Structure 1
């Protein structure tokens, strides 16, 4: 095996190991009897860890992942519903890395292990037994639908308890069946059902100049099949953070609402009108990124005396938050930077 890393602190260290030449019968022989081209290396460079490196490197640990079932002997994983009484044994994993603090680059785990043992990457956990969906009994069949065409009856049931921890999903909660009597419809008078569709919210934006009237009121029409109108007032506020004024603008988000017929075609929005019609516009905060001051000058090097182990000192610089992020803007970056420094010269006093 490779020996300990020796030499200067940092990446200039050296590791060595012994290499032997073995006869096929198991006894050692002179190195010249083995093929020189296949001889393994006896030295390699390494990173020699010194005590002062503890301020430069650290373990980074992620959150524990979800608890998963321990596999069967055959490698199959599935909820053991019939065997489960209270809970099932599982495993959780997480990521553990050794990082250099200054630039957050990953380095060999041996460096961090010099100062602290590697945190565990796996632990036992418990998963509650799967709970299947529980539903009520079906209601009585409804009366046959009115009008012409194929008449239907419906019945429904409710979900009493939802499925949990990988249990069986709920079955259909509605059932339909055709009535015995069917009346033919005159041409063009087929019976349809209508459903309301709602799209996602758009990004927050300010109204265009042409949308703002002299009274600072904006009337926006977002419906394609109706004459609905939504009124929006553009507003701007002055916020104070660390005694500095900052504009906070109120924008708006929109979304589409449309009506579809049972045959897939669009229909007039009025045919899908309900008691509580969904909003098509809402106010929102315009996104603003975090704003920071400029970096301060580097502080003096913390090492002010000369020592024999050549360990460096440290210097730092900082910046302040001028405005925090709002409305989903970019979060603030790092506010403190720290780096190693060495003061050269023979005029430094020896360290006590």
Structure 2
């Protein structure tokens, strides 16, 4: 199992790293893909091996102890024990409680039976020898340190220390490194650095990695967390706030609409402001909460033309003089973003006279019945006949109105409203004819409008007034020019040769060229 650590999460590690406590039982291939210049890779590994024991110490064994084939180590003593308990004085001569000394590089060997051992050089009786008097201090207080034996020159008999010059320097034992304070150091929490705050403003979160670590053999190892349970575990998460978030402010009211009529736009000033009151970039505020700084505005229709309905079918009077009515409204006749002027003062008439013939009268002011409403819907007018009559036996004689002038005359007209019209067809006046003769056309715009003069789709399509019609269908009468005559008898040849495009032939054969030009428009323009 590998433990991966991100950059700067562990204070003792620079860059990315991963660690396995081991052992690794398979080949491990590590590939690194870098997008920036390669910073290099540092790696460490540990290979377990046998304890290395000093040959000088392993070469000594007590007389009578069996040799186990491991460099003279007693069978009852392991290499580790021998390495950790080397406290016997090492002397070159015989002494109580000491081993027989064999010189460095020389090892005892078993002689085959019936063979005489090789003769050793005679031992020199020296008065001074090297003696181990102690050890150096351990390099560490825990986690496996190292120390070395200390050898001094002493009197062979009294063991009193003397200057080193009294001893043979060539026989001084070489100090071998010894392990000490093998117990591991107490576990501790290795605290990584805090990550970046999760938010650039406002309250956010940040994290750090906490590992239980232990030092052994000058190496810092990651261990199980239960070994640090005696210590208070530092927090791995914390709140953070780099700064107070900025907010949106509406600095101005809406401007006036960009057009005096129709649909335009209006704007206002919206800024992102920090908590210090400074205007900052919009990205520092929440774009989802940004108030609108532009919107559409409708200033109503831009009027240009008078729109009319057809005249009503009914006359306001069943007999005598009456009126017919129509609706008139001023509206724009096309969609435009430009301001338009009004329809002007030439408002079309809303009434026109009508007469259904004379009516009978009666004595005094005689008011006839109200006629039906001039319109089937919407606002209209009703008429009635008011005459001055004199009643005779079985008949009424109509008198001059002057005869009844001393009496109050009843009203002869009133407004009426039967029902809402819903939607009706309106149209503009006809345009000028496109041609003065031989059939042109003229157009008008037709709209369906409701009672409130808003655009509607509820009008009967079959009743829609025509938007285009023919006009000036009479033939065109060409003007006769008395001076336009053919000067030659063979002008037909000029026409056939299409020479009328030239000024000379056009003048010499004026009548023929003109006649062909009227019959084939554009003829004179081709060669």
Band of TM-score, shorter chain: under 0.3
Report the TM-score when normalising by structure 1: 0.25
Instruction: Compare the two structures and name the one with the higher helix fraction.
Output: 2
Instruction: Compare the two structures and name the one with the higher strand fraction.
Output: 1
Higher gyration radius (CA):
2
Report the TM-score when normalising by structure 2: 0.19
Higher RCO structure, 1 or 2 (CA under 8 Å, sep 6+) = 1
